[in-house]
Amino acid sequence: MKSLRIPGFILLSLSVLVAKVFASDYVNVKEYTDRGVMMYGDTSQGGPPFAKDPSVVKFNGRYLMYYSVPTFGGMQGWRIGVAASKDLLTWEKLTTLEPAHPSEANGFCAPGAIVLGGKVHLFYQTYGNREKDAICHAWSDDGVSFTREPTNPIFHPHGDWTCGRAIDAEVIPYGDRLLLYFASRDPGYKIQLVGVASAPLDSDWARDKWTQLADRTILKPELPWEQECLEAPTLVRRGQSLIMFYAGAYNNMPQQIGSAVSTDGVNWKRISDTPLLAVGQPGSWNASESGHPGVFTDTDGQTYLFYQGNADKGKSWFLSKVKIGWKDDVPHVE
C-alpha cells in the first residue's frame, strides 16, 4: 500500500487553520487591541495561544519582546519567542530561538532582556533539569539572532538556603556592577525564593565573573497572598533606590504581582502588603492570574509593566501590560 504524501503547503495551511480554531476558543485579541489594550498570544506552535514570561526592550527603532513558548513536548522543550512592535500595542512574531548550546538541550526560557553596549543581551534559564537548572547568557547585534556564551550556564546559587537552582533571570546595572536577580528554591524544593549575584559591569559576564552577594534569600514569601512562592524579579531604578516587581504564589494559585524597594540591591522592604497588580475578576481574561512581571522604561521615561495571565488555569497564556505611575518614587497602576 502506498503511503499518502501531503504537500507542504497543505500542511502549513492546516497548521494555521488549527491555530485559528484554537485561538477562537480563547481571548479575542483584536477585540482588546481595538480598545487600546495590548493582548498577545503565540499560536505559531499550532495549539492554544501561549506566551509567558515577557521582557521588553527598545532597539534599533522598534520594540522587541522576548517570552517563553512551549513546543509540542509540553513542559519540556520550552523555547524563547521573539516579537516586534512599533507601538507597544500590536505585536508581530519574528522567530523562535532554537537550542544552540548543550545546556539548552532539555529546554530554555524565561528571558530577561537588556540593551548594553549596542547589543541586546539575554539572561535566561535552562529548563527541565530541576535542581540543576541555571542561568545562561547570549547576545545579539540585531535582537533576533543570538550568540551563546561559551561558559553557559553562567550562574547557579550555593548555600544551605537553596537547592542550587536558578531561574527567572533579570539584570540591572548598579554602579560599576551588573546585578543579577533570580529565583531559586529551598533545599526541600518547595518554597520559591529570590537571590542576587553580581559581576563587574565592564566584564564579559562569563561564569567566572559572578559572585553571589548574600548567602541567604533576599526576599521570600511571607504575606498570605504570596503563599509558597516569590519569583520573576524585575527591576527599575528610581533615584538612588531600586524598585523590584515580583510575582507572588505559584502559577494560577493565583499568582499576583507585588513590589519592594532597596537602597543597596541586597536588603529589601515591601512597598505594600497587598498586590500592586491583582488577579482579574471572574469572567475576565486574567481571572486565573496576573503574573510574571517584566518592567520596561521607554525612551520618553514612561514605565510599563508587562505580565502574563489566563482565565483557564493555564490551558492558554496571554501577555499584556499596564502603565505604571509614580508618586514620590512609589509605583501605582494607572
Identity of the amino acid at 305? L
10-333: which CATH topology? Tachylectin-2; Chain A (2.115.10)
Question: Is-cis flag, bond preceding 153, omega within 30?
Answer: yes
3-state helix, strand, coil in the chain (%, to 5): 10, 45, 45
**What b-and-e string marks burial along 159-192, b requiring 16 or more CB atoms within 10 Å of the CB?**
eebbbbbbbbbbbbebeebbbbbbbbbbeeeebb
Within 8 A by CB and 6+ apart from 2, the residues are none
pLDDT in tens, the chain (334 residues): 344 444 444 434 434 443 444 444 689 999 999 999 999 999 988 788 999 999 999 999 999 999 999 986 555 689 999 999 999 999 999 999 999 999 999 999 999 999 999 999 999 999 999 999 999 999 999 999 999 999 999 999 999 999 999 999 999 999 999 999 999 999 999 999 999 999 999 999 999 999 999 999 999 999 999 999 999 999 999 999 999 999 999 999 999 999 999 999 999 999 999 999 999 999 999 999 999 999 999 999 999 999 999 999 999 999 999 999 999 999 999 9
CB atoms within 10 A of CB 144: 14
C-alpha–C-alpha distance, residues 178 and 58, integer Å: 19
Grid cell of 304 as nine digits: 510599563
Give me the residue spans of the domains in the chain: 10-333
CB atoms within 10 A of CB 152: 22
